[in-house]
Structure 1
Amino acid sequence: MRVIKSLSKRWSSYKYRFVPWMKLKIRSQPTTRVIDVESDKVVPDEEIFSQLKSLFEHFKSPGGLQSFHKLKIAESTIADAGCGVFLTGSNLPKGQIVALYPGTVYLPYEPIFLQSIYNRYIFKCTDGVLIDGNNRGLSKTIYKSCEGRDRISHLPSADLTWLDPEPTVSVNVGQFVNNRSLSTPANVCYQEFDFPVDFDRALRKFIPNVYYQSRNFHRGMRTVVLVAARDISEGEELFSSYYTVIKS
């Protein structure tokens, strides 16, 4: 029995990187099919940037982190799904940014094999860029090292609080949002967004992403925002769609 449980646990972590299983899973799951990436966006990039800048400016103000909407990590309403993310403190309208997906950003050719072992929190962008949202083990060590490497003077280069069990910047918990099901439709959707290279360094400490290699720092910082796909009420669990098929 112990061996069976051990094998089951290993499979639960590995299956997300087993291509045949993924293809079967996609066929059995509700998917979003779009013609191109731009048509899959709920709000345009200009609006995303405006919201993020206003959000970070609010965080920087006295008491700003405490007065904004909160996201709570708790047991999911889906059986055997583990933890989920719940909206607390306020309602959110459609088109509002709900959360960000934190982690180290890897370009398609950069090494991520060791970090990917037993790692359920790797997000693949449409252009092949990967974001490692694991807040433990090797992934955590790499993120902290990259953040320290990219600091200029005393200014943090990215948010570190998402690595804690209870993040100070509570919106940086997008990696814990569960996938929708037939009985629990998605209320948030993913949108990829690149911060401009000249983004205010005083506000960078709220971005929960760093590049794996420093030479990528000249690129706009890639992040993934979770946007409300409909009005969301306080107390609701957040559900997204992991399976989006881009047709070229």
Structure 2
Amino acid sequence: MPRFAANLSMMYTELDFTDRFEAAAKDGFRGIEYLFPYDYPARQLRGLLDANGLQQVLFNAPPGDWAAGERGIASLPGREEEFRRGFEQALEYAAILGNRHIHVMAGLAVPDIEQAKQHAVYLSNLAHVALLASREGVTVLIEPINTRDMPGYFLHYQQQAQDICDELATAHLQAQFDIYHCQIMEGDILRKLERYLHRPQAGIGHIQIAGVPDRHEPSEGEVNYPYLFSQLDRMGYTGWIGCEYRPRAGTSEGLGWLQQWR
């Protein structure tokens, strides 16, 4: 039986952020994720989790200057110290929130820097934070993102993510498999899940969903999610499935798709 986590950065946006926890719990969610927690004290967020019987399953490490268009700094030469300090902050939040997965955004490709140099910085930073994470029982996640939603992102394809995990060969680095991004870039979703899900010292640590192509409810669009959910059960996936979609017309009103999985 799939376990669904509401993404509070994209769902319930009709409410203030701190009110979204209660709304998600009332709608039957038991897990939540979001992009970034750093605008709020960790203890305040912990209180919201506890008050609503929710589990924190994922958030992102600091991404650099998000408002200015940065989408992570893990692969950016010259930003290593900033990235590593940011990850230490993420670990501090994870310890209080009980969160066991931290997504590290790679950043955008830099046109005037050779890709090999940027790749080397990315590997070095990932190795550093994976070691820190291992000491706290946390897993670092990396996620391929489609070129339509995030042009120029450094990581686009599932095999790229698996190759990076293989290069570092640590159980504390895995791929985050967003079915929405993968369908847009590659398709052949089921075969990729079968190929990558349980790979040793790599594999898939977290799954996310949204309807394709418009990123609304997973009941819309070209992906047969009920079939994929049944296949994930068959493959023995026991992790969370993050609902990272933009509701078409109100979050609660669009949750009819969730009823059969409660």
Name the TM-score, length of structure 2 as normaliser. Answer: 0.25
Q: Which has the higher contact order (CA 8 A, sep 6+)?
A: 1
Give TM-score, length-normalised by structure 1.
Answer: 0.26
